[in-house]
A = this chain, B = another copy of it.
Amino acid sequence: MRLLIVEDEKRLAVSLARGLTAEGFAVDVVHDGREGLFRAGETPYDLVVLDIMLPGMNGYRVCAALRAAGNDVPILMLTAKDGEYDEAEGLDTGADDYLTKPFSYVVLLARIRALLRRRASAGTPSPVLVVGGLSLDTASRRVHRDGAEVTLTAKEFAVLEQLALRPDAVVSKAEMLEHVWDFAYDGDPNIVEVYISTLRRKLGAERIQTVRGAGYRLVAVGPAGEGTA
């Protein structure tokens, strides 16, 4: 599940990103309205958290522009209760829900889950990814390997999800860091290697191939035939 957070208060944005990442979401963060509009148009996010007061372009206009472009990604608006902006106005521009600052993290999480659930039952993309003998249910966050359930941590699941979204394609470490970790993560890329390592141990080493100098690739392995031949 990929989320985009558009919020210019850096501290708030980072803390939200951290919490949501720990929940297993792939979170990207931008601090500018124009940039948010661009990224939301580029990447198929599952949900956008959109602040109203933004440099570059305010939240209403970002929301309206997305809807005008035919993008129906769920949008959760964050409004400050200073009276200058009216909450209801956000809904008029096409937002799906709004939250008034200050809000508790738990409430935010619940709203996000609710929106995602609503969307899921409304029937957008199928929540189950199947690659060879491997299946991951993105709704229940469960992974099965040839019939047996494998328990993965949030980060492990997120890494695997990135691979499974495009089976057989090479996913670079940089992409991993962008989507699974914060999009401006500057830590050691080795961390990706560590997670690949544990995933191999849990899922079978042959399923994740290393493409030296390029990235990693999830291939179909199992009873139902080899990878894309």
- Chain A residues engaging chain B, CB cutoff 8 angstroms: 64, 67-68, 70, 72, 88-89, 91-92, 94-98, 106-107, 109-111, 113-115, 117-118, 121-128, 130, 133, 135, 137, 139-142, 144, 146-147, 149, 153-155, 157, 166, 168-170, 211-214, 217, 223-225, 228
Contacts and interface: CB of A to CB of B under 8 A. Distances in A.
A123 to B, nearest CB: 2
A126 B96 contact: yes
- Which 7 pairs, one residue from A and one from B, show the smallest C-beta to C-beta distance? A110-B123, A154-B213, A91-B135, A67-B224, A139-B169, A114-B126, A92-B147
Q: DSSP class of A's interface residues: helix, strand, loop or mixed?
A: mixed
A22 to B, nearest CB: 17
A224 B68 contact: yes
A121 B211 CA distance: 25
A121 to B, nearest CB: 6
Number of copies: 2
A146 B88 CA distance: 10
Contacts of A135: 88, 91-92
B139 A122 contact: no
Contacts of A110: 122-124
